[in-house]
Amino acid sequence: MAKKSKTTKTTAGKHKTFKTDVPLVGIVGLGYVGLPLAREFCIGGARVLGFDINARMVQKVNKGLSPIKHIPHKQMRDMVRSNRFLATTSMAQLSKPDAILICVPTPLTENREPDMFYVEQTCKTIAKYLRKGQLVVLESTTYPGTTRELMLPILERSGLKAGRDFYLAYSPEREDPGNKNFRTSTIPKVVGGYDNASLKKALEIYKYAIKTLVPVDSCEIAEAAKIMENTYRCVNIAMVNELKRLFDRMGIDIWEVIRAASTKPFGFQPFYPGPGLGGHCIPIDPFYLTWKARQYGMPTRFIELAGEINTDMPHYVVQRTMEAMNDRRKSLNGSKVLVLGLAYKKDIDDVRESPSVKLIELLQEKGAKVDYNDPYIPRTHKQREHDLQMKSKPLSAAMLKKYDVVLIATDHSDYDYDWIVQNAQLVVDTRNAASVVKQGKNKVVKA
């Protein structure tokens, strides 16, 4: 077990000159976690070799073009032109980096059980090329025990032993796309090692990218910390989603209730309702814990109930939409609906687990003719369980007037809500975005 340490400050971002003796960091998976991490290592003075199986994306980033909205093309070009960053699809080059950081998806199966395929395959590939002295770190969110129980045996098939020949650690990503108050380098990073030597090596590597490191006693503590963070949010969001439905029946505005409760300077933290949960973490990660809990014969009723409530929110929004249209003597079947926002939260281009996708499918099942607009997502792409095959419709006053209802699913800052409400026949608002409008409030129904 690693010796307990205190939070440590680093000099991330202060390495101004490129040196040949700085570490070469390998990052497997250049998505919403891996690419921002690569950026911080480059800024900190390290070299980065990125690995991804998507050849088109690898070509794109090597040309200095960013596939992610919150990483500007200029930053991507700077990374490439500084000779600190290179992406490749050649997994044979995994023997080159001093450290290999795994940033691959950890989704759920149809039965809400952990799908560890990407982690397992990545570890099997690393094992083929693993050499003495390398550090391997998992960043993907997962259940406590993954590093030691799943990764370790696979990596040791290489013939090398953890703690003797190579180092092993777990350090969960804490990305929050679109959050302007924090970036990867300024979010404190929890690090747990397989042993003391592994922890020390991981801290030495991460100091190039992260300002504040939080060492913990083991991989399991680090794994549990991340899944606890997301479960905490999942449960509290479910509570306000349930209260929204209750207060709606009572004729009380949940948003005003939250605003009033938030004036208490202690003992209360605001969480906000919505049309459902989205993103790669909160809708998924808590069920990793419920699965693990079953191995210990313990039910996790809070988590299961929260999942049920949050999963049902798109159905609630569709029901509210039907009721609002019925009050205006219209049927949802055959009506034209425009969904505003496909991303799972405002001002980003990430559609993973977005409730907007489920909303569109439910509306179509009810017979509605559905279009969407999202300034950051010009067209949909095939997902694991969804394939909408749609393109974003341009907004205009004439176009808005043609729809029987406009459904605000994502409250992007780019939207002019006064103008939208002014030109729409009916607005169903799931984000309280239209609360700022000065005229036409009688057209707005909250859901």
Place of tokens 């926002």: 341
Give the Cα separation of 318 and 332 in Å (integer).
9
Antiparallel, parallel or unpaired: β 405-408 and 85-88: unpaired
Q: Where are the beta strands (DSSP E) in 141-216?
A: 167-170, 189-193, 212-216
Q: Which pairs from 56-61 meet CB under 8 Å and 24+ separation?
A: 57/30, 57/87, 58/30, 58/87, 58/88, 58/89, 61/30, 61/35, 61/85, 61/87
**In the annotation, is 219 catalytic?**
no
Position 289, amino acid: L
Give the Cα separation of 225 and 206 in Å (integer).
18
A 10 A CB-CB count for 218 gives 21
Give the Cα separation of 113 and 428 in Å (integer).
34
Q: Which of 183-199 are b and which e, b meaning 16 or more Cβ less than 10 Å from the residue's Cβ?
A: bbbebebbbbbbbebbb
**413: which 2 tokens?**
């800052």
Give the Cα separation of 206 and 212 in Å (integer).
9
Place of tokens 């390290």: 46
Compute the radius of gyration of the chain from its Cα atoms: 24
Helices (H), ranges, 178-300: 196-206, 219-249, 254-261, 285-295
Antiparallel, parallel or unpaired: β 336-340 and 369-373: parallel
Strand order in the sheet with 8-9: 8-9, 212-216, 189-193, 167-170, 135-138, 99-102, 24-28, 47-51, 85-88
Place of tokens 């002014």: 422
Output phi, psi for 269, to 5 deg. -125, 125
Contact present, 128 and 158 (Cβ < 8 Å): yes
Give the Cα separation of 200 and 190 in Å (integer).
13
**116: which 2 tokens?**
């560890």
Catalytic center residues: 281
